[in-house]
Amino acid sequence: MTPDRAALDQWYPVAMAADLPSRPGREARLLGRTVRVFADDGPGAEEGGRALPVALAHDHLWASLGAPGHQPFAIPEGLEPGRRLVGCGALRIRCPALRVVESALARVPFVQAIAAPDAVQVREDADELWATLRVPRPAAGGPPAGPMVRVPHPTCAILYGASSRPGAWDVVALLVQPLDEATCAAWSWMALWDDETPQAELIQARQSVLARDRPRLENLLPPLLPLDPGEGAATRADLLPVAYRRWLARRGWTYGAQGAA
């Protein structure tokens, strides 16, 4: 499918900012098209000689094939002094970008909180989808009360987890680049309270999470994400994936989706 206006006008991550070659740069795929990314006097991207809108955010280069009309979404935690910022690179997966985000939402560890009604608050704003845990978890090892996940972009999710610092959350951003409708590159970027763990261990732990999920994601049927609410029977544990699909459908998002109303 040709990407529609909404998909074209989005920002997408296309490279790590620290890993940009000088001109003529490197080829990258975006929405089924080939672009070149490079850094000369600042980072840039072009498609067939046409300069594309670019932005630097969260240590990545973002590009758009259309006219975004806004800056890439912010991750305020990433600006807090003392946090350790870790870019984990990208893993390619033969599935639509939406499937990677949905799968991350399905794994948000809130299942135990379901017993308490209204323990999880889901907020579907026009621009963003949020899930917040409203009660502190009695059991150790789980997330404290507070934000759990944020979807600021159809192909990106911010996951909040317990950190080594009381009252603060570690942040894992899943930034997915749709290479075309059926394949994607999943970038991970983390903002952590951690001064001890070796960098390579942090990166490999994050890569392993995605790599474990990859075979399942590549074998989902249908490959495209169904947005029709009549598809399948949702249970309470599907709260976030269902909210995500509904949020996409309400935005009229179609790229990588099927059966959108």
Determine which residue in the list 56, 116, 208, 232 makes contact with another protein, applying CB under 8 A.
208
Among residues 9, 19, 47, 180, the one that binds another protein under rule CB under 8 A: 19
90 binds another protein (CB under 8 A): yes
Contact region for another protein (CB under 8 A) — 31-39, 65-73, 210-218, 228-236?
A: 210-218
Please report how close the Cβ of residue 221 comes to another protein at its closest, in angstroms.
Answer: 15
Residue 94 sits in the site that holds another protein (CB under 8 A): yes
Closest C-alpha to 10, from 47, 44, 53, 48: 53
Compute how many other C-beta atoms are within 10 angstroms of the C-beta atom of residue 1: 15
- Interacting residue with another protein among 20, 75, 185, 249 (CB under 8 A): 185
DSSP category for residue 11: -
204 sits near another protein (criterion: CB under 8 A)? yes
In the complex, what is the shortest distance from the CB of residue 87 to another protein, in angstroms, rounded to a whole number?
Answer: 7
- Residue 131 makes CB contacts below 8 A (sequence gap 6+) with 108, 110, 120, 121, 122, 123, 147, 148, 149, 150, 239, 240, 243
The sign of the torsion formed by the CA atoms of 213, 124, 191, 54 equals: positive
Side-chain-side CA neighbours of 122 within 13 Å: the count stands at 18
Q: Residue 135 or residue 205: which is nearer to another protein going by CB?
A: 205
Q: Which two tokens stand for residue 140?
A: 């150790």
Which listed residue (41, 166, 195, 212) binds another protein by CB under 8 A? 212
Residues making contact with another protein (CB under 8 A): 16, 19, 87-92, 94, 185, 198-201, 203-205, 207-208, 210-212, 214-215
